[in-house]
Structure 1
Amino acid sequence: MARTRKLTISTDAAGHTAGWASTEPASDTPVTPHPSTAAFFDVDNTMLRGASIYWLARGLAARNYFTTADLAQFAWRQARFRLLAAEHAGDLSRAREAALAFVAGWRVDDVERLSEEIFDELMAPRIWAGSRALAQTHLDAGQRVWLVSATPVEIGRVIAQRLGLTGALGTVAEVVDGAYTGRLVGDLMHGPAKAEAVAQLAAVEGLDLDTCSAYSDSVNDLPMLSTVGHPVAVNPDTALRRQARERGWQIRDFRTGRRAARIAVPSTVAAGFLVGAVSAGLAIRRRWASN
């Protein structure tokens, strides 16, 4: 029997929504929201060149929270996990157990502050202009635009805020007294979990999924793309490109040959906070605690 996940809708001590997080309106005169239509964008390699967690790790390394050697190990282990996950049909049970162990004890407000700084420094220049323009088209039409990513929801919210989007759906980390415990609430926002989260958000906000759009680069997001009436493959991997052609979906590719080659390494760490984060993350936590 299929297991149904419930997307938690609650707030922590700071008033942040768990499961998904809204942002403030992007302007003083927002377009009147469309009552039943929204767009959902994957983040890594869809909205952003490479993986958000990789660039966050790069920014932390630059701030001496851990070393470049830790960063290399972090990237290698995450790349290895992504390969294993694909081989085992997306089995993320081991990832779920270890996913956020390295942030245990970190303050949520510190992570969000650092995420804002690192977005401005490293992520903003790597936002795909084409994907950002697609999101703006939806906003201009009065539609809500949500990011949907395996990255922790707090980081997703920072990216959504910086881009002027409606909010983010992401992996939920347990928080006690304003600090991460290192455990997850529910499952990683990955694969079928994304589709379930989108469906639950649609039920809460009264969205008609047949009129909604979804954008992703990865075949792992087929469940989410299949949930909406207007799926679009953006910078697709080979498997998704094949599926999109077979199903008659739109394909938008904003890469060029040389640019696509340059982002190959960070793109391998696009699965979010995964098993490979733990050993590198222990070094991060030791350095964090010593500051």
Structure 2
Amino acid sequence: MSCLALFDLDHTLLPLDSEYEWARYLVQAGAADAREVEANNALWLAEYGAGRLDFHRHAAFALGLLARHPRAHLEALRDGFMRDVIAPAIQPGALALLARHRDAGDLCCIVTATCRFVTEPIAAALGVGHLVAVEAACDARGEFTGAVAGVPSFGAGKIERVAQWLASLGLSWDGFERTAFYSDSRNDIPLLEVVSHPVATNPDMALGELAAARGWAVLELFEEEMAG
């Protein structure tokens, strides 16, 4: 494979934030407290948008929501979440972008700071077979504990996690002629700086300004769909 194509998920391939919407879905299903979720989501979005997210505090909340319920119940809720929230949000532009890379024979992987439990079926729905995500720790029975397992795939942690994933395949960064990463967020600048072809995709203001200054490619993936 000559090209490695990496994709952020939320607001990059999806025009929403899957973790934010998952928490809201739990509220609607009676599986989380509305005030608690609204307060934490508001704080998280403010910090994330400013590039100063306390990731471990946020993860304790997000993964703690999982730890409150048996896994079987969570899986049933996730089925409804995929059907009611995610499936309607998948847009042709994202599918076409992914198809172009697959058709070119590129190794494709979604790299996200949202946990694997939420994002694994989303990656499958998008037709992406590889996923690097935040791993939620489980106990001996396979139930979630509320803790993060290993290095979280957030900020510079995405670089380390991608390297670990490549190593698991017997590959490395320098084994590719071209490496690309698509992201919307200033929080992904560390990984964008590592690849040979960074693409600011639906970029936030800070990333858009940096992309313009550095001559990075800019892609407005949802522009036509949102305008319609």
Q: TM-score normalised to the size of structure 2?
A: 0.84
Distance in 2 between residues matched to 1:83 and 1:131, nearest whole Å: 26
Distance in 1 between residues matched to 2:39 and 2:88, nearest whole Å: 24
Distance in 2 between residues matched to 1:73 and 1:82, nearest whole Å: 14
> In the alignment, which residue of structure 2 is the partner of 1:159?
122
> In the alignment, which residue of structure 2 is the partner of 1:237?
204
For 2:30, give the aligned amino acid: N
For 1:163, give the aligned amino acid: L
The 1:76–1:209 alpha-carbon spacing in structure 2 relative to 1, beyond 3 Å, is farther
Say if 2:32 and 2:65, in contact at 8 Å, map to a contact too: no
> In the alignment, which residue of structure 1 is the partner of 2:93?
130
Matched residue pairs, number? 223
Distance in 1 between residues matched to 2:108 and 2:217, nearest whole Å: 18
The 1:65–1:86 alpha-carbon spacing in structure 2 relative to 1, beyond 3 Å, is closer
Higher RCO (CA < 8 A, seq sep 6+): 1
Alignment counterpart, residue 26 of structure 2, candidates 57, 60, 64: 60
> In the alignment, which residue of structure 1 is the partner of 2:168?
204
Say if 2:44 and 2:53, in contact at 8 Å, map to a contact too: no
> In the alignment, which residue of structure 1 is the partner of 2:66?
103
**Higher-helix-fraction structure:** 2
For 2:111, give the aligned amino acid: V
> In the alignment, which residue of structure 1 is the partner of 2:184?
217
Say if 2:198 and 2:216, in contact at 8 Å, map to a contact too: yes
CA shift at 1:54, angstroms?
2.5
2:152 is the counterpart of 1:185: no
Q: Deviations over 1:214-260 (max 9, x none)?
A: 11000100111122111111100011011111221110113449948
> In the alignment, which residue of structure 2 is the partner of 1:265?
none
> In the alignment, which residue of structure 2 is the partner of 1:150?
113
SS of match in other structure, 1:172: strand
The 1:257–1:146 alpha-carbon spacing in structure 2 relative to 1, beyond 3 Å, is closer
The 1:250–1:88 alpha-carbon spacing in structure 2 relative to 1, beyond 3 Å, is closer
Unaligned runs of 5+ in 1: 1-33, 261-291
2:81 is the counterpart of 1:115: no
Q: Pairwise CA RMSD of aligned residues?
A: 2.6
Moved more, 95-104 or 214-223: 95-104
Distance in 2 between residues matched to 1:93 and 1:61, nearest whole Å: 22
Moved more, 236-245 or 73-82: 73-82
For 1:31-110, list aligned pairs within 5 A.
34=1, 36-66=2-32, 70=34, 73-84=36-47, 89-110=52-73
